[in-house]
Structure 1
Amino acid sequence: MDKELEITVYGAEVLCPSCVNLPSSKETYEWLEAALTRKFINQAFKVTYVDIFNPPEDSLKKEFAQRVIDEDMFYPVVKIKDEIVGEGNPKLKTIYAEMEKYGFKQM
């Protein structure tokens, strides 16, 4: 691993219309960050939250946030590099497997 891997969680304050009984995007982001920190101890990654209705100036994040809106994706959407690894109710097992592709080792 050359540098820190970024796991990006795209979501919004308002719950996804199809995700009414699920945690909010922000809650999912916090849960995911805690779970990954426990599983991949002292490894170079960060979890970033992007509000799809108020994205940062980063053009790639802004473009993908717009795509989430335009394509009516179930959010939160979890993305690692160019791969969508979770949508609506992301599964840890899927995210772990994707991280392992980049050399991360579960502890």
Structure 2
Amino acid sequence: MKLGHFKPVEITIYGAEQICASCVNLPSSKETYEWLEAALTRKYPNQPFSMNYVDIMNPPAEEKLQAFAQRVIEEDMFYPVVLIEDQIVAEGNPRLKTIYVEMEKYGYQAPTV
């Protein structure tokens, strides 16, 4: 199977060490980040993507990341918040199927067996 040429998508996960009040029995944002990275790597082998984790309580200096981290807090979003190419695709407990559908819009393909 020959894969199409595409630009690796950027996935950004905004979260915090403290689990959000509505997400008490769910994994932490950092655990979700690690789980999602592993799942996407397995689903789309040899199809690169970049993943970034942003701590909403201590975001990096980049203005765009700080602004969205502030928005997560101000709008009381359920975190982690998952963005693909700056589009929100999941809040709280992300569903893999939803993220796969979004990835496939950018040309990612699961290998056929």
Q: TM-score range by the shorter chain?
A: over 0.9
Distance 1:62 1:96 in 2: 27
Larger Rg: 2
Number of equivalences: 107
Distance 1:14 1:96 in 2: 27
Q: TM-score, normalised by structure 1?
A: 0.95
Q: TM-score, normalised by structure 2?
A: 0.90
Matched ranges for 1:33-52 at <5 A: 33-52=37-56
Residue 46 of structure 1: CA displacement? 1.5
Render the CA deviation track for 1:29-62: whole Å, top value 9, x for unaligned: 0000000000011112012111001111121111
Percent identity of equivalent pairs: 69
Aligned partner of 1:26 in structure 2 is 30
Aligned partner of 1:58 in structure 2 is 62
Superposed structure 1 runs of 4+ greater than 6 Å apart: none
Structure 2 unaligned segments of length 5 or more: list them: none
Out of 92, 95, 98, the position equivalent to 1:94 is 98
Higher mean alpha-carbon deviation, 69-78 vs 46-55, is at: 46-55
Aligned-pair Cα RMSD in Å: 1.0
Distance 2:52 2:86 in 1: 15
Matched ranges for 1:59-78 at <5 A: 59-78=63-82
Out of 3, 10, 22, the position equivalent to 2:7 is 3
Residue 3 of structure 1: CA displacement? 2.8
Distance 1:44 1:61 in 2: 22
Task: Check the 8 A contact 2:13/2:33 in 1, yes or no.
Answer: yes
Structure 1 unaligned segments of length 5 or more: list them: none
